[in-house]
Amino acid sequence: MKQWFLLLPREARALLLAGAVVGAAIAFLWLSSMAGLLVGSIREASIVKPQIARLLGYEQVGNEFDRVLEQATLQLRELSYETAEGAQAGARLQQSLRGFAEEYGLVVTGSQLLTEDESAEEDDNLFEVLSVDLSLQGTPMALDQFLTEIRLHTPILAVSSLDLVRPRTIRQRRGASPQNPDSLNIRMTVVGLRELRR
Amino acid sequence: MDQASPFSLFGLDLSQYAARILLGWQQLLWGEEVGLRDRFCPPVRFINQQSPDQAGSTGAALNNDATDAPGLGWLIPESEVLIREVSLPIDGEIFLREAVISTVQSHSPFDFAETSFGFRIAHRSPTELTLTVAMVLRATAEAHAREAEAQVHGVATPIELWAEDGSSAVMLEGFGESDRAQRYYANLGRFAVRTATAVAAIAMILSLPALWVSQHAGQLAELKSETQARVGSVVAVREELVQSQELNAAARSFFEAYVDYGPWLHQVSALTPDQVYFQRLGLDGSTLTVSGLAENAADYQRILAEAGMFSELVAPSAFTRDERAGRERFTLSMRLMSELAE
């Protein structure tokens, strides 16, 4: 074959070589495209098969998803205020805390609502932190009952800081009601969560 | 006069390259070294050189229109032909025909218009080309053609005229060479079609696995789309569930950081002796700071340390004696141990 090729006239040899190169290039392109198609299809099938299996699995346990979602939603309601409550959630929390305090004999001398996004530097915040500063006056017993009420509250609340100060003994004015010797000045911060997404 | 080529690009004469490509093509088709002509060009059967028992087969050849059937030729005896050998540099092959015509014009004893000629490449070396040019008086050639037609009268195909050159022969131009070329090209075309069909069939067979796998992948993708459409609502529920679980986990994580102060207040109260009076009690996160008056502040610090409920118990300032109250003024700071907070 090589001998035959070398014996060919120069121009015929060049033309034949060019034709062979073009043919080889076409064959290479075709083979590589077929190989690419084969490998790509195998890869695609290997990706799609588990996805289909997963979807079919979801379909089989669809009712279970509904049930678990319901439970998860109920659990979430125990942990945070709903998104739908909007800005009113903070006001409601403040109002509730004032109501509890007064219910257990504490005198509310001041309250302030502060709101901030949880991990505000992150883009996708999940919750808004509702924070209520309370200034109260009352006995340790009333405080204990108030703390118990906060612990049992739904959605969950937490006390982030608590400061108890014994008030200075003030000389009592004539005719004024006697000062309770057990009374404390209480300053506390109560925090709760409001869901931001959904 | 120097005349510019119409096929010129940046001063490069492309017509030379075109001529060489054309020459290469001609060499591939008609060159003896390649072998295509020997394989696909129909052979010639000389009418005036057969024995009487071949007459029947000649008749069969005459009525055969197949392109691979032998062509009919008439061999002009060597005595009536002028043979001339011409040498040509190998690079001059692109001007082969011009060289042959020039040779005929200069060496034919007859007027050029009265000369029938043909040529063949007798020898090819790396540097030189040797041509055999055959020249015959046109009237003689036509007489032989008439004689040949008389022998095979009623045949539409033209009779080829060949000039005898020793052991070989040279075909004369103008006497059936175009018909020969057409039959050769037809044979080549059929071979090319057969080859292309075989290559296409092989390519199809080779591509079957890839096509089958691709079709399978397409079917799977379609099945996935159908399943997605059917299970879409379930997937949405699942995504909502995942989101809810994420929110639950985040909320629990948030509240885990806080301490329930109620039980701790009870613990601190239970540990504190009656002679210790608090003036201030502060809880911030898990840090407890108490300040007040005690008969023996150091003793109270020891009681708290031995309780095992606090860590990092320190007195940020010195205990001082309050002469008016008759007790020691103290401030103690400590960290609540989380495991006791439960």
CATH assignment of the domain containing B134: 3.30.1490.300
Query: How many domains would you assign to chain A?
Result: 2
The interaxial angle of helices A62-79 and B177-256, nearest 10 deg, is 40
Domain contains B239: no
Note whether residue B140 is domain-resident.
Answer: yes
Chain B residues whose CB is inside 8 A of the A131 CB are none
Phi/psi class of residue B166: alpha, beta or left (left: φ > 0; alpha: ψ in -120 to 50)?
A: left
Q: At what angle do helices A140-152 and A88-103 cross, to 10 degrees?
A: 140
Question: Is B88 a domain residue?
Answer: yes
Per-residue pLDDT at B126: 87
| Domain end residue (candidates: B175, B199, B216) | B175
Whether the predicted pLDDT of B69 surpasses 80 = no
> Has residue A8 been placed in a domain?
yes
| Residue B172 to residue B165: CA distance in whole angstroms | 12
DSSP string covering B153-193: TT--SPPEEEEEETTEEEEPTTSSHHHHHHHHHHHHHHHHH
Give the strand pairing for A107-117 and A127-138.
antiparallel
CB contact under 8 A, A34 and B206: yes
- B71 within some domain: yes
Find chain B residues with C-beta within 8 A of A158's C-beta: 255, 258, 260
Say if CB B78 and CB B130 are below 8 A apart.
Answer: no
Same domain, A56 and A90: no
Which amino acid, residue B61?
A
* pLDDT attached to residue A169: 66
Q: Which residues of A touch B237 (CB under 8 A)?
A: 62, 65-66, 69
Owning domain of residue B335: 261-341
pLDDT over 50 at B4, yes or no: yes
Tell whether A114 and A191 lie within a shared domain.
yes
A interface test, pick of B238, B240, B288, B331 with most A CB neighbours within 10 Å? B238
Q: Answer with the one of B157, B175, B193 that is the final residue of a domain.
A: B175
Question: Which amino acid does the sequence have at B139?
Answer: A
Is residue A157 domain-shared with residue A91, that is, in the same domain? yes
- Amino acid of residue B195: T
Amino acid at A137: Q
Domain membership of residue A90 (yes or no) is yes
Instruction: Print the domain residue range for A118.
Output: 86-172+179-195
Q: Does B223 touch chain A (CB under 8 A)?
A: yes
Same structural domain, A127 and A183: yes
- Statement to judge: residues A22 and A109 lie in one domain: no
Contact status, residue B123 vs residue B140, Cβ threshold 8 Å: no
Lookup: tokens for B295: 């008969």
pTM attached to this predicted model? 0.60
How many angstroms separate the CA atoms of A17 and A12, rounded?
A: 8
| Smallest Cα distance from B100 to chain A, Å | 19
Distance (Å, whole) CA B165 – CA B135: 11
Mean pLDDT of all residues in B80-84: 93
| Whether residue A31 is found in the same domain as residue A128 | no
Out of B175, B210, B244, a domain closes at B175
What's the whole-number mean pLDDT along residues B15-32? 90
Pairing of strands B71-76, B160-165: parallel
Residue B77's SS3 state is coil
Domain boundary among A60, A76, A106: A60
Q: Write the ipTM.
A: 0.76
Question: Which residue is associated with the tokens 């001398």?
Answer: A109
| A90-106 as b/e: b if 16+ CB within 10 A | beebbebbbebbeebeb
CB B104 within 8 A of CB B136: no
Number of domains in chain B: 2
Shortest Cα distance from A55 to chain B (angstroms)?
A: 7
Q: Is residue B68 part of a domain?
A: yes
Extended strands (E) in B15-167? 44-46, 71-76, 82-89, 115-124, 128-137, 160-165
Q: How far is A132 from chain B (nearest CA, A)?
A: 15
How many CB atoms are located within 10 Å of the residue B330 CB?
A: 22
User: Would you say B58 and B47 are in contact if contact means Cβ atoms under 8 Å apart?
Assistant: yes
Q: Residue A165 above 50 pLDDT?
A: yes
Q: Is B226 on the interface with A (CB under 8 A)?
A: no
Least Cα separation, residue B212 to chain A (angstroms) = 9
CATH code of the domain in which A124 resides: 3.30.70.60
Say whether pLDDT at A51 is over 60.
yes
Do A165 and A124 reside in the same domain of the chain? Answer: yes
Digit-coded pLDDT (tens) for A109-136? 999 998 775 544 444 678 889 999 999 9
Contact of B17 with chain A, judged by CB distance below 8 Å, is answered with no
Assign 3-class secondary structure to B85-111: EEEEEHHHHHHHHHHHHHHHHHHCCCC
Residues 6+ apart with CB under 8 A from A94: A111, A113, A132
pLDDT, average across residues B258-283 = 91
B130-162 pLDDT per residue, tens: 999 999 999 999 999 999 988 887 777 788 999
Rounded to whole angstroms, the Cα distance separating A135 from A98 reads 10
B167 and B296, same domain (yes or no): no
What band does B89 get if pLDDT is binned at 50, 70 and 90? very high
One domain for residues B44 and B163: yes
DSSP 8-state class, residue B113: G
User: Which of residues B12 and B128 earns the better pLDDT score?
Assistant: B128
